Amino acid sequence: MSRSGERRMRSPEYARPAAALAVIAACTFGFAAMLSEAAQSTGGAATTPPGAPAPAAKAAQAKTADPSTAVARTASAVPWAGIGRPATRSEIHAWDIDVRADFKGLPPGSGSVEAGERVWEEKCAVCHGTFGESNEVFTPIVGGTTKEDIESGHVANLKRTDFPQRSTMMKLSQVSTLWDYIRRAMPWNAPKSLSTDEVYAVTAYILHLADVVPADYTLTERNIADVQKRLPNRHGLTFYEPMWRVDGKPDVQGDACMHDCAVDPARLAVAGLPEHARDAHGNLMAQNRIVGPVRGADTTRPPRSDLDGAEVAALAEATMLASIPHQRKPEDLAREANCMACHAVDAKMVGPSFRDVGAKYRGRPGVAEMLVGRVKNGTSGVWGDVPMPANAAIADDDIRVIVNWILEDRR
């Protein structure tokens, strides 16, 4: 081949007309096939020019040349082809809000400890206490750390098996995690409702409660890396290399035992609830649903180290009877509806006790139907800031049974 021929082959000026001719040919064949199909569908006759291929041959050529045929064939081979659309830039931006440990993704803003205290009192203290120390609803946020921990970067109380409770600040190793969680999940009844500056302020207030920053501190995206250097448990992370290997050793010791398994009483005692916290949130057994394999411990009684066959049979029988509609008790209905997760009969938990609800509304005209509507549709502001979600999945008749049971006089 001559050099001029090589230049013609490589030059885009010569390639473009050839591509254009190919497109024209493909469109021509496709248009001819469309005319042929139209003629057949309407009963008309298509005229075949002298020397042109027969209609069947033209249709075959059209299918071969038409690029849309290949696309359709590919779409039929891939089940999800053609479903959905690419996400827009604004949609990706709204979803991509995570903040990394190196603070990439952290938006600009600022918040003082003083401003954080105001937001905390208004939106956070109801669940976490004024100073973040309450365990009435959730695990304490603050407590268990010392000035020595801030200096060393290790929380000494994490090594104690007799320490009452591990707070958030005891375990927190990255301040970005705290900031990110507050932003996306708090307050509990209105997540993502805090402004960026309010997130900075609440984070600053928590850090002040743990003596990480002073009372006059203002947290910003420019100084948050300095705060990271003072977290009590900043060096608490450990890297377990075998977890990154397929053939690595697991980080827990397990075996295939399914029955008559040996139990180490010492390890069981360490893993159990301390006595002072055992009944802090009501009876755990009453708060578990009766479906599934999990049964909560009866925290109204001392810990049990075993469960014999007779007790297992009795539990299975009680579960079976509770599933029969005409034999279900109001307590069983309330447990199945997960009411016991937030309420107890005689003690305030996340919501008021059933005894207090009955005492407030008992004897009022039409109160039963009013409470049925509130349980069904949800309500807020009646017993504090924590709302009661809607319970649309519970049958109205079951709700009436539960409400009438709550309104019974328990004096």
**C-alpha–C-alpha distance, residues 173 and 64, integer Å:** 62
Nearest to 141 by CA among 151, 150, 153, 129: 129
> What's this model's pTM, rounded to 2 decimal places?
0.50
Q: What is the pLDDT of residues 28-73, one digit of tens each?
A: 434 344 434 433 433 443 344 444 444 444 444 444 445 445 444 5
pLDDT band at 262 (very low <50, low <70, confident <90, very high): confident
Lowest mean pLDDT among 231-245, 250-264, 271-285, 305-319: 305-319
DSSP string, 249-274: PPSS------SS----HHHHHHHS--
Residue owning tokens 């064939």: 73
Q: What is the pLDDT of residues 126-157, one digit of tens each?
A: 888 889 988 777 889 999 999 999 999 999 99
Mapped to the 3 state alphabet, what secondary structure does 109-159 carry? CEEEHHHHHHHHHHHCHHHHCCCCCCCCCCCCCCCCCCHHHHHHCCCHHHH
Q: Which residue has the higher pLDDT, 385 or 317?
A: 385
Q: What is the pLDDT of residues 158-211, one digit of tens each?
A: 999 888 889 999 999 999 999 999 999 998 878 899 999 999 999 999 999 999
Whether cis (ω within 30° of 0) applies to the bond prior to 242 is no
The segment with the largest mean pLDDT, out of 6-10, 52-56, 127-131, 246-250, is 127-131
Phi, psi (degrees; rounded to nearest 5) at 219: -90, 135
Average pLDDT estimate for 379-389 = 82
